[in-house]
Every structure is written in C-alpha cells, then in structure tokens.
Structure 1
Amino acid sequence: MNIGMIGLGAMGQAMARNLVKAGHSVKAWNRSGSPVDGVTMVASPADACQGDAVLTMLSDDSVIRSVLLEPGVLSAMKPGLIHVVMSTISVAFAHELVALHAAAGIDYVSAPVLGRPDVAAKGELNILVGGAPHATATLGPVFDALGKRVWDMGADAPAANAAKIACNMMITMAIEAMAEAVVLTEANGLARESFFDLILNTLFGSRSYQVYSAIIAAGQYEPGFKASLGLKDLRLATEAAGQAGRSLPMLAAVHGQMAATVDAGWGDRDWSAMAALTIG
C-alpha cells in the first residue's frame, strides 16, 4: 500500500521502518524533518495524505489540530484515503474528528497502540481499532506490519480512544501500587527485588508489572514514555470521567502523583519516576 505518515518520534520512526520492511511505500512528514531509511520525506502534511492511508503519530489534540485542521489539510486529502490516528487523544476530540471527516468525505479510524518504542521496533504493538468495518478491513496489511494483535473496539472510533486512555490510567495505578508496596515491605526489611519476585510469580505477572517492577527495582527512570505525556493521558482520563459524570478516586490519586512528579522536574524521565516520588 501507499502509506503516509505524519509524526516521526520514537514510536513513529519504529513504525515507519516496519512498514517499509513489509514492502509498503511510505511517505512521511515530520516537524523536525528527521529522515528514516527507506521513507520518502515530503514537504508538507498534505503531501503525506495522497496515498491509500495516512497514519498520524502526533503527541496530542492540540498538535493534530495545528498540523492538520487549522491549515486545512483535511480538505486536501486524496479522495478514498483513510486517516488513522494512532496516538493517544481525548475522547471528545475523537468525536470531533469523526464528524469533521464525515463532512469531508474521508474515512476516519482511531487506532491507538499499547507498547513502548522497543515493542514498536519489534512490530509487536497491540493495536486498539475503532472505525467503520470497511475501513478497518482495508488497513489489515498495515496493522499486520505494526502489531502482533488487532483488538476490535467496534464501529465507533472514540471507543478505541476511551480504551487506550483507560489502559494508560491502569498502568499508572500499577506503578503506584508497586511503589506503595515497596514502602511497606522495605520498611520491614524485605528487598524490593524479593518482593517483586513474589508478586510476578503469584498475583501480578502481566507485562506492565514485569516492565515497571524492573525499572523500580533498578531505580533507573530513563525515558521510555515521558512523565509529561503520562500526565497528559491522566488529564484525558479525568476529562473523560467528567464527561461520564463520574468521580474516580484512584484516578484522582495517580493524576495528582504524576503532576507532582512533573512539578519535581522529572517530566522528561520515564513516567514510572512517579514511583520514586512515593518511595522517597
């Protein structure tokens, strides 16, 4: 397929390489202009929107708005193109994008992903897909190149965004749970490595616990997924809860803790640095 990409951060670069490796023709635009082997860099976002599909990997609602909506790129998209937003955006903005694309006659799909850059590089992302069945079916070869499994979130695109936000919320809850458990166990003479060995082999063996227990045990919070982006996602979760008319106490706790992490100057460190704030 002829695929455009808009946004080549750590995740976008890994995804672009895998698309090229799978035999797709990839044209990309990035604000920094950073090249990727095998990818043709184009001069504008509109130039990346002239193929079969365009994948957007921009950091948040405001960037998508400034790059695509305000300059009128939507109206310049090739007829028949499918626009796929694969970053984490708000549920409210996803609803807005659905309406705007419908008015422009362009298929829109939400396909946020679960996985850090190392997972993206291996082509093992979990892809949460919401959108019209004919559009999501067409994208099968694209998703096959990027992920190990596609999770069908239904025909309403914003459902995929809600699922991604909820997943990220739960990861931060797992990070905070482990940090608080370390406070209790280390205060009573048990090394965190021994405690993590226990929980990983009994109660909590999922990937999130595996990945972040290792980071917490080492006390090394090198950037993987930045705390500033984690704070953004928790803000999106808080907004979605408000739109549902609900107050979520665990969400409020991790939102506050992540905000404190960023305020402490750790916004560019991995979001699991939140644990260091709790453990002290």
Structure 2
Amino acid sequence: MDIGMIGLGAMGRAMALNLAQAGHTVKAWNRSGGSVEGVTMVASPADALQSDTVLTTLSDDSVIRSVLLEPGVLKHAKQGLVHVVTSTISVAFARELVVLHEAAGIDYVSAPILGRPDVAAKGELNVLAGGAPHALTKVRPLLDVISKRVWDMGADAPAANAAKIACNMMIAMAIEAMPEAVVLTEANGLSREHFFELILNTLFGSRSYQVYSANIAAGQYEAGFKASLGLKDLRLASEAAGQAGRSLPLLAAVHGQMAATVEAGMGDRDWSAMAALTIDPNAKRRSIVRSSLS
C-alpha cells in the first residue's frame, strides 16, 4: 500500500519504520525534518496526501489545524484517500474533522492509539478505530502492522477519540491512586516496594500499574509520556465531560494535581511525576527552586 505519514515524533517514527519494513511504500513529512530508514521524506503535507492512505500523528488539535486545515491542503488530496488520525484530539475537533473530510470527499478514520514508544517500536499498539466500515476495511492491513489488536469503536469516528481520552483519564487516576496508597502504607511502616508487590500480584496487575509503580518505587520520573501532554489529555476529558453536561469529581481532582505538577516545572518529566507531589508535599517547592536556579 502507498502510505503517507504526517508527523514523525517518537510514535510516528516507530510506526513509519514498521510499515516500511512490512513492505509498504511510505513517504513522510515532518515539521522538523529528519529521516527514517526505508521512508521517503517529502517537502509538504500536501505531498504526503498523494497516497492511498495517510496517517497523521501530530500532537494535538491546534497543530493539526495549523498544518492541514488552515493551509487548505485537504482539497489537494489524492482521489480515494483514507485519512487516519492517530493523535489524541478532542471529541469536538474530531467531529469537525468528520464534517470537513466529508466536504472534501475524503474518507476519515479516527484511530488513537494506546501504548508508549517502546510498544510502538514492537508493533504492539492497541488501536481504537472509528469510522465508516468501508474505510476501516481499507486501512485495516496497515493498522494490523502497527498493532497487536485493532479495536472497532464503530461507525461514528469521534467515539474512538472519546474512548482514548477516557483511557488516559483512567491511567492518570491510577497513577494518583498509587502514591495516595503509599502515603497510608509508608506512614505505618510498610515500604512502597513491599506494597506494590502485593497489589501487582493481587488486585492491580495491569500494565499501567506495573509501569508506573516502578517509577514511583524508584522515585524516578524520567521522560516517558510527558506530564504536559498528560495535562492536555485531562483537559480534553474535562471538556468532553462538560459537553456531556456532567461533572466528574475524580477527574477534577486529578486534573488539578497534574496541573500542579506542570506548574512545579516537571512538565517535561513523565506524567507519573505527579506522584512526587502527593508523597512529598515539599516536592513542588524544591522543584520550583531547582527550575529557578537552572
């Protein structure tokens, strides 16, 4: 298949490489240039849209809008193109994209992904795919290359975006649950390592608890999924809740804690750095001091 890629961040690069290695013809555009083995770099997003399928992996609503919508490049897309947006975007923006693609005569699929760069490199992402059945059928072979499973979220593409936002919201809630439990257990003489061994082998053995409990146990929050991006996703969840006319109290609390993490100068660290503020109330002050001295 002739595949275009728009955006080559850590996730996009891994997907492009896997698609090229699977024998697909891949051409890509990236704002900051660069290269990927087996991938032809092109001069503009419009060039990437001269493909059978295009995967957009740009970071958020505003970047997609500035790269694809404001320049009006969709109207120059190849006839019969299916445009797959794998980014975590707002439900409202996904609905706008559906309308704009219909007007341009282009098939649109929302396909946000669950997984970190190491998972993407292995081709083991979970893809949450929503869109017209004929469009999903056309792009299924390439989604199979980058994933261990494609989850069909139905014909209404924005449902896939709602599912991804809800998943990230729940991961953030799990992250916050662990340090709150550590506060209780360490105050009563039980080490966090011992407590995490208990929960991982009884009630909470999922990947999210495994990955982030290791960060919390070590007190190490090196960049993985950045806290600034986590804050963006929690904002999207808050917006979606508002559009549904509902107030979600746990979401509001975690959103506030993630905001405090970013405000403390830890926006470029892994979003599990939120745990540092819960376990140690002085962590925010020390982080701000370090940032001011650097």
Determine the C-alpha separation between the residues in 1 that align with 2:23 and 2:275.
42
| Cross-structure match for 2:287 | none
The question of 1:7 aligning with 2:23 is answered no
| Structure 1 match to 2:211 | 211
Aligned-partner Cα distance in 2 for 1:275–1:79 = 49
Aligned pair 1:200/2:194, yes or no?
no
1:183 and 2:215 correspond: no
Match of 2:69 in 1: 69
Matches within 5 A, 1:43-62: 43-62=43-62
Task: String of CA shifts for 1:176-220, please: whole Å, max 9, x gaps.
Answer: 000100111111111101000000111111111111111111111
Q: Secondary structure at the match of 1:196?
A: helix
* Aligned residue in 2 for 1:237: 237
Q: Once the 2 structures are TM-superposed, how far is the Cα of residue 141 of structure 1 from its aligned partner?
A: 1.2
* Equivalent-residue separation in structure 2 for 1:49 and 1:10 (angstroms): 21
The one-letter amino acid of 1:269's match is R
Mapping of residues 249-268 of structure 1, within 5 Å: 249-268=249-268
Residue 18 (structure 2) pairs with residue 18 (structure 1): yes
Distance 1:277 1:11 in 2: 28
Distance (Å, rounded) in 2 between the aligned partners of 1:170 and 1:56: 25
Partner of 1:157: 157
Quick check: 1:107 aligned with 2:107?
yes
Aligned AA (2:198): L
Q: Distance in 2 between matches of 1:36 and 1:12?
A: 10
Deviation of 1:34 (Å):
1.2
Amino acid of the residue matched to residue 273 of structure 1? Answer: A
Q: 1:186 is matched by which residue type in structure 2? A: E
Offset of 1:43 from its aligned partner? 0.2
Unaligned runs of 5+ in 2: 281-294
Following TM superposition, by how much is the alpha carbon of 1:275 offset from its aligned partner in structure 2, in angstroms?
Answer: 0.6
Q: Deviations over 1:96-140 (max 9, x none)?
A: 000000011000000000000000000000000000000001111
CA distance in 2, matches of 1:144, 1:42: 25
Residue 166 of structure 1 corresponds to which residue in structure 2?
166
**What is the distance in 2 between the residues matched to 1:186 and 1:48?**
54
Counterpart residue type for residue 24 of structure 2: H
What letter matches 2:106 in structure 1? I
* Alignment TM-score, normalising by the size of structure 2: 0.95
> Distance between the aligned counterparts of 1:13 and 1:187, measured in 2?
44
Pairing 1:145–2:128 present: no
Q: Residue deviations 1:136-183, cap 9 Å, x none?
A: 011111011100000010000000000000000000000000010011
C-alpha separation between the residues in 2 aligned to 1:64 and 1:42? 18
SS state at 2:225 partner? coil
Amino acid at match of 2:73: V
**TM-score, length basis structure 1:** 0.99
Code of the residue aligned with 1:59 in structure 2: it is: S
Partner of residue 31, structure 2? 31
When structure 1 is superposed on structure 2, of 217-226 and 83-92 the one drifting more is 217-226
SS at match of 1:139: helix
Dislocated runs of 4+, deviation >4 Å:
none
Letter in structure 1 aligned against 2:131: G
| CA–CA distance in structure 1, aligned partners of residues 253 and 2 of structure 2 | 44
Deviation at residue 233 of structure 1 after TM alignment: 0.3
- Give me the identity figure in percent: 83
Aligned equivalents of 1:99, 1:21: Cα separation in 2: 34
Q: Secondary structure at the match of 1:40?
A: strand
